[in-house]
Chain A
Amino acid sequence: MSEIEHSEEHIKKHVRVYISVFVALMALTVVTVAASYLQLNTFGTIALALFIASIKASLVICYFMHLISEKKLVLIVLLFTTIFFLGLIFLSLLAYFDPVVYKNVA
């Protein structure tokens, strides 16, 4: 990163952002717990909990891990990671819903 980017003033501005992110993360944790007491159906409960967790995760990645101002190469690495991660989750799910495999297992 360039010198100007990391000048003292710039870092101090960052620190203010970190504190706001911290407050948001704390608040969202309380919201997650509160939301779990709502009488939603199973799908609604799971979707809401994962939605809030994703917001929290994005805040940590973007601001604490500086992804928002990171070089392109890191973003490319993470793009591939995301694709493989989704594959890992959904391909195994696909196998579960495959009627042929399921019948054989059962």
Chain B
Amino acid sequence: MEIPYTVKPRPDTGLINSKIGIWLFLASEVMLFGALFSSYIILRIGSESWPEGSSYLSVPIGTFNTLVLISSSITMVMAWASLKLKNFKKFQIYMGLTILLGLVFLGVKSFEYYGKFSHHHYPKESVFFAIYFTMTGLHALHVICGMVVNAYFWGPGSKMWQTNPEQFTNRVETSGLFWHFVDLVWIFLFPVLYLL
């Protein structure tokens, strides 16, 4: 069955279906992460003491990962813009870079996790580590999901460019919206966990 309104906007909403779909999904994601941020605040103000993030976490590594994720956001939007400019080769390069930067982020994150585990810092150790692992773990899961979708559009899914380039461009825009959201969450997670 053909999905309706993937290229032409639906008259009543003025949007293509995938666009309104992803925004509704992101709205639910805001609530998911919002619940965790809310828990963080409650747990923190309810604690007798709270460690300074930087005493356990490496600020330079966190900063580096922030810069990596921001870079992957620009390559993602450039991938979409390349399709808009009908330059498929450039799309492949930018999308490839986006996936690669996602991998770098996850690599650095695993290195950080490994460091914590080898110093016996587990979620059970303290409220700080419990919330640190929950929030960064859920975020990393989102990075993985975004990368899987992007890898599909970079690889086998890109065949659609030959048959329906407009729909393909819209697909990339939709996965881009998700990817930018993942970046957005990290923009708040980084100062909250590492700097405050």
Residues of B in contact with A, size category: 35 or more
Closest-CB distance, A52 to chain B (whole angstroms): 7
Choice from B34, B59, B177, B195 contacting A85 with Cβ under 8 Å: B34
Counting chain A residues whose Cβ lies within 8 A of the other chain, the interface size class is 35 or more
A residues neighboring B (CB under 8 Å): 6, 8, 11-12, 14-15, 18-19, 21-22, 25-26, 29-30, 32-33, 36, 45-46, 49-50, 52-53, 56-57, 60-61, 64-65, 71-74, 77-78, 80-81, 84-85, 88-89, 92-93, 96
The chain B residues found within 8 Å of chain A, CB to CB, are: 13-15, 19-20, 23-24, 27, 30-31, 34-35, 37-38, 41-42, 45-46, 54, 59, 63, 66-67, 70-71, 73-74, 76-78, 81, 84-85, 176-177, 180-181, 183-184, 187-188, 190-192, 195-196
Interface residues of chain B: helix, strand, loop or mixed (majority): helix
**Cross-chain contact A88 with B34 (CB below 8 angstroms):** yes
CB B35 to nearest CB in A, in angstroms, measures 6
**Contacting pair A29 B19 (CB below 8 A):** no
